[in-house]
Chain A
């Protein structure tokens, strides 16, 4: 199975900050990397697919980059509604696997 490792596990930031999340795959997954946002009690919401493509309806302050094994998700200017948990997921091969998530908290 492909292991997905996210760092950091938690992050404190303020409204207006620029933040970057990191995700590393245990082997190359090309660009088959997706990012999700999850709020308490809700299902994950797709933000970025294929490493850098913005899902329809997602604000442009979200962006993704990377290929192979190393990927980033960046929020250019944090808004109050962005405080949530962010998870990466590889869709290169089954079993599809997720990172353990990074919880973004208000500083």
Chain B
């Protein structure tokens, strides 16, 4: 049974870096059949896909254009988890952040983390 467990701070100051981690159980971050994603949700933007990391003989990343200059998603194979870093945050980055597994083939987000409300405020 796949489970995703998120961790990280709920409050970040403007201009600083938002950092979250998603620990995976029941699957591998190195799976050739999955991709590991970060998605956020806010009242103004709705559900917004931020990016993903995945392994297909080598590691690759894809990022949304809206955050591409500020985002890094990294796998951690030793701990079977992946992380999100979002730099230079502003209050507009306030949202609930989710990690989610994407399956190749039919391509849904079939498992999600519990969500982390991150507030950007001084």
Contacts and interface: CB of A to CB of B under 8 A. Distances in A.
> Chain B binding site: helix, strand, loop or mixed by DSSP?
strand
B75 interface: no
Interface hub of A32, A98, A100 (most chain B Cβ within 10 A): A98
Interface footprint category on A: 20 to 34
> Chain A binding site: helix, strand, loop or mixed by DSSP?
loop
Contacts, number: 60
Interface of A: 1, 32, 34, 36, 42-46, 49-50, 53, 55, 87, 89, 91, 94-101
Interface string B86-122: 0000000000001010100011111011110000000
Contacts of B65: 1, 95
A34 B109 contact: yes
Contacts of B102: 91, 96
